[in-house]
Structure 1
Amino acid sequence: IRRGESLCRLDRAAYRRRNVVERCFNRLKHNNALATRYDKRARHYQALVTIARLRLWLP
């Protein structure tokens, strides 16, 4: 094994998709209500997630 190589092969396409998803979750977590989950009901939390996603994608 050469220096800098690992034992497992890295699937670059899968890593790129995973990176996009992780960055999206990171941006969503900037909303404090999402990060701490103040809402007790699942439908209220889902509505908050939807609103946060819309705020990310709309200018």
Structure 2
Amino acid sequence: MERCINKIKDWRGLATRYDKSSADYLAGLHLRGSLIWIRSLRPTG
């Protein structure tokens, strides 16, 4: 769990919370989470 939180915080916009509204922040959080998930689907080899 801690690694996932650190991956999310690697995105500067989420770590510093530049977005003013909570809806924008939540959208960025969903976008970052989906990017992490999609990258985890790549085959390792």
TM-score (norm: length of structure 1): 0.63
TM-score (norm: length of structure 2): 0.81
Equivalent residue number for residue 29 of structure 1 = 9
Q: Which has the larger radius of gyration?
A: 1
Compare the two structures and name the one with the higher helix fraction. Answer: 2
Which one of 32, 36, 40 corresponds to residue 52 of structure 1? 32
Question: Which structure 1 residue ranges, 5 or more long, are not aligned?
Answer: 1-20
Which is bigger in relative contact order (C-alpha 8 A, separation at least 6)?
2
How many matched pairs?
39
Where has structure 1 moved over 6 Å in runs of 4 or more? none
- % same residue: 38
Question: Which structure 2 residue ranges, 5 or more long, are not aligned?
Answer: 40-45
